[in-house]
DNA sequence: CGTCCGGTTGAAAGGAGTCAACTAGCGTGG
DNA sequence: CCACGCTAGTTGACTCCTTTCAACCGGACG
């Protein structure tokens, strides 16, 4: 059952309603499966601020910016990164349409990372103070918001696992498997997709160098696991890729 | 200004009140500086469940356990860890008195990591459903809760940075500096403390082997940065340790 | 007194990084 | 339209940091 089907299984939900709502803001895509009814959705609509386009390479927010909004990605891809004390970057994540940005900023009212668009993108601004007010009257939304924050925590924990005790091959396999499953959850192909980020950004995220990524790509290609052409990826053997990720298959 | 001073600067707060409240649950220590008044504190008291003692080596919760409670550490130290698909552990954090455990479980109603006591410890159970109910009526608490979740996100991001682009020496320095600052924030010495975790657990957390930790300890000792005796640590040169953490000082 | 466990130290091995040369694709401007 | 230069990516050779393997130490405990 795809996410769309889950959404349509909601009481009172029609394809037209769904289209109309989802067109407004990806926050709806996030909220619909959680049991929000149409009345709740309308209230949510009212607090959602303006849409904002961000061109490829443009920044949505920077480290240190005062925190006022969360951002729901409507369209496109982003990366978030931190800057080390010595000036070096660390990519902390890649986000796609339907995901929420800026939750790390709540703790200190300042953004702790920067967000940059990997392609021309569009977001909805969600003024956090309005959202928090709304959360008080809408238990379902409150619950959902907490789930989203918690999900971000678990996501980061799995990256810690990746960086903490996986070898290069396993890390890269895990990266591809993760991307594939996220595209699949959004109704796109899990076996053919485009990398929106550069080799350098992938390497930075995985704690590897650009050369290592290049070599791993070549290796997977040689072993018949994937087909690669520039940033175009086709997964030929998802099972084995998952086995490598799990550490079942020892890759040499 | 220490945390205790901040707390005492709150209107209507006396040393006795503070003692009484903090004795009940470390959640109060967390909440007091955030502007909760005494009435709010009492309401919080009412939902806080039983205290629970966990002996050294005992587990508070395990991966896969159904999620019902958050836990505020009253006393002692814990570690949280995940299990990889191939069965290997990854320590995701060390928690001390005054910190909150279990927030990663909200997203899927199951715990995503296990929590084990590093010494005889005590926690307060906070039934999450009651807490969420209370959050609706107490904007200050709601805000505070969101801050705590967000703080966990930023904490993990800094671990990602540590694992993603720091060398062994820098990682270990960062680990010590982080511990020191947390003890300081709790009113303990920032220069002399005891490691509650084994070399193995430190290594696992930092993505290094037990031997590497041992060597780094010896190295820092030789360079006059610290004094070590078993698990007793004394920081002799905090400035240089911070410089190594920051990557300013290149350590050889 | 022997054994076990946590920790230390040394020597060798290996995986990823660094350095460097090279290729391909793409936009610009003559 | 082609040449040029720029950027992103690839590939090879070598280096180095951390791991691995192994021996050893010392305190706790039965």
Q: How confident is the model at residue B53 (pLDDT cuts 50, 70, 90)?
A: very high
Answer whether A83 touches B (CB < 8 Å). Answer: no
- How many whole angstroms separate alpha carbon B252 and alpha carbon B250? 7
pTM score above 0.75: yes
State the pLDDT at residue A24: 45
Residue at token pair 């070096």: A88
Evaluate if the CB of B200 falls below 7 Å from strand C.
yes
CATH fold group of domain B167-246: Arc Repressor Mutant, subunit A (1.10.10)
Model pLDDT for residues B80-102, shown as the tens digit of each residue = 999 988 888 999 999 999 999 99
* Substitution target from B87, B153, B207 for chain A, most A beta carbons within 10 A: B153
Domain borders along chain B are 3-159, 167-246
Answer whether A243 touches B (CB < 8 Å). Answer: no
Nucleotide nearest to B210 (CA to C1'): C7
Instruction: State how far residue A164 is from chain B, nearest Cα, in angstroms.
Output: 4
Distance of CA B211 to the CA centre of its chain: 25
Maximal C-alpha separation, chain B: 56
Q: Closest by alpha carbon to B139, among A77, A30, A133? A: A133
pLDDT < 70 stretches in chain A: 1-38, 250-252
Chain C footprint positions (protein CB, under 7 Å): 6-11, 15-20, 25
Answer whether A207 touches B (CB < 8 Å). Answer: yes
Q: Does pLDDT of B14 surpass 90?
A: no
Could you please report the per-residue DSSP string of chain A?
--HHHHHHTSTT--HHHHHHHHHH-HHHHHHGGGT--HHHHHHHHHH---EEEE-TT-EEE-TTPBP-EEEEEEESEEEEEEE-TTS-EEEEEEEETT-EE-GGGTTTTB-SSEEEESSSEEEEEEEHHHHHHHHHH-HHHHHHHHHHHHHHHHHHHHHHHHHHH--HHHHHHHHHHHHHHHHHHTTS-SSEEE--S-HHHHHHHHT--HHHHHHHHHHHHHTTSEEEETTEEEES-HHHHHHHHHT-SPP-
State the pLDDT at residue B126: 93
Q: Which residue is nearest to nucleotide D26 (CA to C1')?
A: B230
Model pLDDT for residues B151-182, shown as the tens digit of each residue = 999 999 999 999 999 999 999 999 999 999 99
* Substitution target from B134, B154, B158 for chain A, most A beta carbons within 10 A: B154
Structure tokens at A180: 């594939």
Model pLDDT for residues B129-154, shown as the tens digit of each residue = 999 999 998 898 999 999 999 999 99
Maximal C-alpha separation, chain A: 56
| Record: contact A85-B246, CB cut-off 8 A | yes
Environment class of residue A110 by beta-carbon count within 10 Å: exposed (0-12), middle (13-18) or buried (19+)?
middle
Instruction: State how far residue A124 is from chain B, nearest Cα, in angstroms.
Output: 20
Q: Where are the alpha helices (DSSP H) in B48-138?
A: 128-137
Q: How confident is the model at residue B10 (pLDDT cuts 50, 70, 90)?
A: very low
Q: How confident is the model at residue B30 (pLDDT cuts 50, 70, 90)?
A: low
Model pLDDT for residues A178-189, shown as the tens digit of each residue = 999 999 999 999
State the pLDDT at residue A210: 97
CATH 2.40.160.40 fits A3-159, yes or no: no
Q: How confident is the model at residue B17 (pLDDT cuts 50, 70, 90)?
A: low
Q: Which of residues 131-190 of A touch B (CB under 8 A)?
A: 132, 135-137, 139, 142-143, 146-154, 156-161, 163-166
Instruction: State how far residue B242 is from chain A, nearest Cα, in angstroms.
Output: 10
Q: Which residues of A touch B84 (CB under 8 A)?
A: 161, 165-166, 247
Q: What percent of chain A has pLDDT over 90?
A: 73
Q: How confident is the model at residue B221 (pLDDT cuts 50, 70, 90)?
A: very high
């Amino acid at each position: 059952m795809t996410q769309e089907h889950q959404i349509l299984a909601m009481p009172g939900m029609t394809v037209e309603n769904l289209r109309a709502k989802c067109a407004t803001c990806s926050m709806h895509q996030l909220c619909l499966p959680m049991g929000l009814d149409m009345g709740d959705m309308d209230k949510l609509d009212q607090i959602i601020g303006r849409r904002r386009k961000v061109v490829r390479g443009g920044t949505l927010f920077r480290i240190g910016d005062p925190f006022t909004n969360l951002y729901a990605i409507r369209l496109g891809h982003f990366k978030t990164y931190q800057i080390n004390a010595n000036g070096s970057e660390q990519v902390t994540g890649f986000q796609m349409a339907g995901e929420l940005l800026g939750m790390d900023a709540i703790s200190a009212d300042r953004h702790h990372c920067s967000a940059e668009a990997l392609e021309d993108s569009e977001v909805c601004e969600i003024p956090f103070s309005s959202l928090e007010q709304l959360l008080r009257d809408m238990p379902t939304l409150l619950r959902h918001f907490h789930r989203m924050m918690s999900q971000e925590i678990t996501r980061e924990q799995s990256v810690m696992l990746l960086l903490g005790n996986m070898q290069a091959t396993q890390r890269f396999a895990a990266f591809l498997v993760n991307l594939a499953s996220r595209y699949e959850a959004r109704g796109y192909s899990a076996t053919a997709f485009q990398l929106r980020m550069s080799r350098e950004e992938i390497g930075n995220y995985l704690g590897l160098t650009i050369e290592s990524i290049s070599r791993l790509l070549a290796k997977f290609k040689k072993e018949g696991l994937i087909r690669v052409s520039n940033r175009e990826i086709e997964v030929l053997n998802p099972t084995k890729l998952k086995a490598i990720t799990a550490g079942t298959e020892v890759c040499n």
